[in-house]
Amino acid sequence: MTVLFSTILTLCVLGILAAVILYFVAQKFKVEEDPRIDEVEKMLPGANCGGCGFAGCRAMAEAMVTREDISALFCPVGGAECMKKMATYLGKVAPEKEPTVATVRCGGVCSKRPRTNEYNGTKKCSMAAAFYVGETACAYGCLGYGDCVDACQFDAIKVNPETGIAEVDADKCTACGACVKACPKGIIELRKKWPKNRAVYVSCVSKDKGAVTMKACKAGCIGCGKCAKVCAFGAITVENGVAYIDSQKCKLCRKCVNECPTGAIVLKGMDPLPKEPKAPAAKPAATTEAKPAEKNESVNEQK
Amino acid sequence: MKTFPIGGVHPSDNKKWSCNKAIETLALPDVVNIPLGQHIGAPATAKVAKGDKVLTGQLIAEATGFMSANIHSPISGTVTAVDLQPNAQGLRQMMITIKREGDEWIPEIDRTAEVKRECELDSAAIIAKIKDAGIVGMGGATFPTHVKLSIPNGCKAEFLIINGVECEPYLTSDHRTMLERGEELLVGVEILNKALGVEKAIIGVENNKPDAIASLTGIIKEKKFAIEVEPLKVQYPQGGEKQLIAAVTGREVPPPPALPIHVGAVVCNASTALAVYEAVQKNKPLIERVVTVTGKDVKNPCNLLTRMGTPISQLLEMAGGLPEGDVKVVNGGPMMGRAMVNVDSPVTKGCSGITVFSGEEVRRVPTSECIKCAKCVAACPMGLEPYLLQRLAAKQMWDEMETERIPDCIECGCCQYTCPAGIALLDYVRLGKQTVMGIIRARAAAAAAKK
Amino acid sequence: MANKFIIATAPHMHSPLSTQSLMRDVIVALMPALVVSALVYGLSVLYVTAIAVVSCVLVEFLIQKYLIKGASTLGNLSAVVTGLLLAFNLPANIPWWIIVIGAVVAIGVAKMTFGGLGHNPFNPALVGRVFLLIAYPVQMTSFPEIEPVVGGIVDTFSGATPLAAVKSGALSVVDANLGSMFGGFTGGSMGELSAAALLAGGLYMLWRRVITWHIPVAVLGSMAAFAFIVALMQGGGAELYALPAFHLMAGGAMLGAIFMATDYVTSPMTPKGMLIYGVGIGVITMIIRLWGAYPEGMSFAILLMNAVTPLINKYVKPRRFGVITAKK
């Protein structure tokens, strides 16, 4: 009995002693912190993706609280809504920013871009890109080893095993930009996000001359400039042998889509414009119009 | 017998297929492609345009700045293009294309076989001649030789070390050159001695080339050269510049940015010494080199004296063509060479051999988990911990990689060679080194901008 | 083009080494000790070894297939090595179910829980042995009497090992039959019998470059030095040489130093680290042997140093080329 009693007593004394020590230590090393930082952090998505440019959500919250002017800060994951909520809480003005979505600009699927060799090294885009042209003859195209997939924290990008090209799930994409940084070829771009995931973009970044591009990949942009000529909004520029559609200027009029001879301009979430009857040569392309809207994602491949 | 102090591996050297084959001269190519960037530093600037007639040995591209090298026409004919062409890696690179018409040399070049030993030029004139001839390190690093010979202020060259190690398995081009062109090579070494103002040169040769050691020692004795041949214990990567200096002199070059000259050493490749002889004594620029074409399934492994710019496919044809099935054609040796996508790419100044792998050797061994056997740590000649660097690189922990001395890595491949788990250590280490070096350069640039 | 070009970054050669080949060499190196043990204790040795190996392999197979759901890892032979080492740490007359429990703990708890080969912080065979030693102390420490299979030259010890005998004061180290301990005819766990056979295995592994000399030399050297100093402080005499020699040959010293401490996964990566680790094992073993409650401390010492290994790896770096530390 005495053994039991003394044991309980010792443990109790030890417990109280430890509690007292902990209390004083906690007092001594207490860090004064703005309690609003915790509150703001709770409002952030908590993905710690670094899309804002900070190391994590905590650092972003600190910046939100400490900085007077928060117009340079933006959480791409939470978007405008989250920014507004935090700004209201802090009594600051939230920056306006349009939602964007990551877009993989390469249409060189296996059937269009033949493999010329087999890569037996470590399957990382960064390693293969630093070493050589890649498994196809196109030095600009998607390698398909998925550095972007590794970088994505939202499970929004996948390499399609059939095409060998990364594909973005626009609904999951938060436009944090991690994949843009991870891609050694600079193929991925954050473009304006239209409702219903509509999009028109040039799915090629090859700076090679037209003939060279054509030889390597049948879906490549050859820089012919036909699209730029029909664009009424000055959204299309052709530089270094490759066309580029400015997503801020583009109005989704879709005229350029029908002009592209290689199908490098991709149209998503919409029907293509009907072909004008004056060009009978374009007849086969007209069959694509009949396709239901769901299948339009693969319009460029059918050409 | 001497060797370097840390690490190293012993791959089977497989030199037996080509080490007894005398150097043959390859037939002149009909068309050559001359890349403007075939050396470390800025690519040369083209001095010819489409339609120009050029003679063999004529300057066709001039060094751009100090860290660059001249390029000369390896054949006579007409320039048909100065344009982007795919190189061995399939990447497009600026090249001068020349269609051959006969073989007419510029008259300044002395083409006689007579060995000319006396050289009255002073150091500056020798270095100028080497610069004019566009000589770069021919072991593969392609560092412009005139830059190497220009000793920075505050340093003094004490040793000239000639790299006749050829530690890369399979390759025998330096071996054959030392054996067949020994006297000329030694005169080249003598000239390099004069250029550097050093008394004595040491030729480091691995002990698996006893015939070359005997032949060079014989010539030195007979013709009274102030040159020493140092037989070295066979171990890879003995031919690494830092390893060779440590093996021969016992001095260790400190980590980057220190250079070999900071321990008083200048290292030149054996073939480079021969090129120096030809440039200084015969006015012949660097337009041809010996290339070993070898491999287990190559029908006729050989050592070919080849004009620069010759398509590698022509060399492969001479060696009996590529074996059937999947092949890996490597520009260089098996430990550090680069696998080629495009075998029609040209021979360049740094191309010491073409190694062909086929059958089982063509692909990497399967990968399994690291068992922490420490063999990579034991093998690393720079005293690094490849297993750790690999993990850090995979996790993108670049700062930690820098503290673990990743810039020291010489990318010799010993770690990956030895790894029983077949892990691609060097792939990750290389990625980490590239990234960290980029960070260091960016930091230096930012610091410079602040000033 | 008929040829398909394969592209990979350098190096394009690979050494003939593989995890499997290394493990195979370890198995070969363990054979002499197994043979000696079988000659001394008879067929029961083979029976115990077979059960240990089979159950280790089976446990790894089942966990890999049904819990981890990965590709089979049996090909690397590490489960066989663990099974052999576990068997070597058991008495020859142990019941079969204890062996199976040992295998489950060794492979299931100490190895696969952490993710399998390469991830385990502690030597699996030793974790198994120590678990059994604590859970079944009677069965684990009562050794069969030696059946003199080879002629009549055998010096029989009934039951207790020399270490236990010395501990209990029944034997003075000076009187211990060192020759018999070296040859393998004194009682103990199956694999611990013959110092000579274990040394032969160690030399084979050194020759095949499976291990380096650092760990065994550090362990045995520090044990001998420690024993020598202790004998010196106790007044020297005949014990001065008998004590170190006795401790090197008794119990698990050889087995531990050569086969257990050198386990790749749980030992340090750098030569310097290996020496520190080895000395740590040697000293802790001797402290337990001389002043601890257990007659033998090798297993505990190795497991303790296993725990220190990550720390050693973090702070003990190899000699970097060209870095002269004296300058600082």
Question: What CATH number does the domain containing A65 carry?
Answer: 1.10.15.40
d(CA C264, CA B395): 23
Residue A137 and residue A52 share a domain: no
Q: Which residue of C has its CA nearest to B363?
A: C6
What residues in C contact B355, CB-CB < 8 Å? Answer: 12
Of B90, B339, B431, the CB nearest to A130: B431
**Sheet strands (E) in chain A:** 100-104, 117-119, 157-160, 165-168, 188-192, 199-202, 236-239, 242-245, 265-268
The percentage of chain A sitting over the pLDDT mark of 90, rounded to a whole number, equals 41
Q: Strand B326-331 to strand B338-339: parallel, antiparallel, or no bridges (unpaired)?
A: antiparallel
Residues 6+ apart with CB under 8 A from C263: C123
Residue A246 and residue A153 share a domain: yes
| Distance in Å, alpha carbon of B364 to nearest chain A alpha carbon | 7
Confidence of residue A292 (pLDDT cuts 50, 70, 90): very low
- Position A5 in a domain: no
What are the pLDDT digits (tens) for A171-194?
Answer: 888 888 889 999 999 999 999 988
Taking residues A12-28, what's their average pLDDT? 93
Chain B contacts to A (CB-CB under 8 A): 86, 89-92, 326, 328, 338-339, 341, 362-364, 424, 427-428, 430-431, 434
Taking residues A279-299, what's their average pLDDT? 42
AA identity, residue B305: L
Confidence of residue A143 (pLDDT cuts 50, 70, 90): very high
What residues in A contact C8, CB-CB < 8 Å? Answer: 119-121
Beta-carbon separation of A121 and B86 below 8 A: no
Average pLDDT of chain C to the nearest whole number: 86
Q: At which of A28, A56, A90 does a domain end?
A: A90
What number is the ipTM of this complex?
Answer: 0.88
Beta-carbon separation of B383 and C321 below 8 A: yes
Q: Which residue of A has its CA nearest to C8?
A: A121
What residues in B contact C119, CB-CB < 8 Å? Answer: 369
Residue A136 and residue A190 share a domain: yes
Is the minimum CB–CB distance between A24 and chain C shorter than 8 Å?
A: no
Residue C259 has a pLDDT of 94
Residue C325 has a pLDDT of 55
Q: Which residue of A has its CA nearest to C5?
A: A117
| Distance in Å, alpha carbon of B58 to nearest chain A alpha carbon | 31
Residue A82 has a pLDDT of 86
Instruction: Please choose, from the candidates A280, A279, A297, the residue with its C-alpha nearest in 3D space to the C-alpha of residue A288.
Output: A297
Residue A109 and residue A238 share a domain: yes
Residue B117: CB atoms within 10 A of its CB come to 14
Q: At which of A57, A90, A123 does a domain end?
A: A90
CB B40 within 8 A of CB B73: no
Q: Is residue C155 predicted with pLDDT exceeding 70?
A: no
Residue A130 and residue A61 share a domain: no
Backbone angle region of C41, left / alpha / beta, with phi > 0 → left and psi within -120 to 50 → alpha: alpha
Look up residue B435 and give its two tokens.
């990234």
What are the pLDDT digits (tens) for C142-152?
Answer: 777 665 444 43
Residue A191 and residue A113 share a domain: yes
Look up residue A142 and give its two tokens.
């998607």
Identify the sign of the CA torsion A13, A16, A19, A24.
negative
Beta-carbon separation of B92 and A139 below 8 A: yes
Residue A205 and residue A140 share a domain: yes
- Position A45 in a domain: yes
The H or E element that residue C100 is part of is helix C96-103
- Position A296 in a domain: no
- Position A242 in a domain: yes
CB A187 within 8 A of CB A141: yes
Residues 6+ apart with CB under 8 A from A193: A98, A99, A100, A101, A170, A175
Q: DSSP string covering A282-299, please?
A: GHHHHGGGGS-GGGGGGH
What residues in C contact A121, CB-CB < 8 Å? Answer: 7-9
pTM, two decimals, is 0.87
- Position A55 in a domain: yes
Could you tell me which chains touch chain B, where touching means 3 or more CB pairs under 8 A? A, C
Residue A60 and residue A104 share a domain: no
d(CA C239, CA C245): 9
Is the minimum CB–CB distance between A116 and chain C shorter than 8 Å?
A: yes
What are the pLDDT digits (tens) for C62-106?
Answer: 999 999 888 888 888 999 999 999 999 998 888 999 999 999 999
CB B237 within 8 A of CB B335: yes
Chain A with chain C: Cβ pairs closer than 8 A: 23
Q: Is residue C327 predicted with pLDDT exceeding 60?
A: no
Q: At which of A64, A90, A116 does a domain end?
A: A90
Chain B with chain C: Cβ pairs closer than 8 A: 170
Please count the structural domains in chain A. 2
Q: Is residue A282 predicted with pLDDT exceeding 50?
A: no
Residue A66 and residue A193 share a domain: no
Taking residues C114-132, what's their average pLDDT? 93
Q: What stretches in chain B show pLDDT beneath 70?
A: none
Q: Which of B259, B373, B402, B419 to mutate to test the interface with C (most CBs of C within 10 A)?
A: B373
- Position A275 in a domain: no
Instruction: Please choose, from the candidates B234, B365, B353, B236, the residue with its C-alpha nearest in 3D space to the C-alpha of residue B298.
Output: B353
> C27 or B139: whose pLDDT is higher?
C27
Residue C2 has a pLDDT of 66
Residue C159 has a pLDDT of 52
- CATH code for position A155: 3.30.70.20
What are the pLDDT digits (tens) for A122-135?
Answer: 999 999 999 999 99
Instruction: Please choose, from the candidates C240, C261, C272, the residue with its C-alpha nearest in 3D space to the C-alpha of residue C304.
Output: C261
Strand ranges of the sheet holding B59-62, from the earlier edge strand across to the other edge: B45-46, B59-62, B71-72
- Position A22 in a domain: no
Beta-carbon separation of C12 and B335 below 8 A: yes
Residue A228 and residue A190 share a domain: yes
| Distance in Å, alpha carbon of B361 to nearest chain A alpha carbon | 12
Residue A245 and residue A128 share a domain: yes
Look up residue B52 and give its two tokens.
């120009």
3-class SS of residue B84: strand
- Residue whose pair of structure tokens reads 């060097």 in the numeric block: B426
Beta-carbon separation of B91 and A137 below 8 A: no
Confidence of residue A83 (pLDDT cuts 50, 70, 90): confident
d(CA B308, CA A64): 61
Residue A143 and residue A58 share a domain: no
3-class SS of residue C60: helix
CB B37 within 8 A of CB B93: yes
d(CA C132, CA C139): 9
Look up residue A49 and give its two tokens.
């993706």
Residue A56 has a pLDDT of 85
Find the domain containing A84 and state its range. 36-90
Strand ranges of the sheet holding B159-164, from the earlier edge strand across to the other edge: B227-232, B201-206, B159-164, B265-269
Residue C184 has a pLDDT of 67
| Distance in Å, alpha carbon of C71 to nearest chain B alpha carbon | 11
d(CA B401, CA B405): 6
Residue C185 has a pLDDT of 64
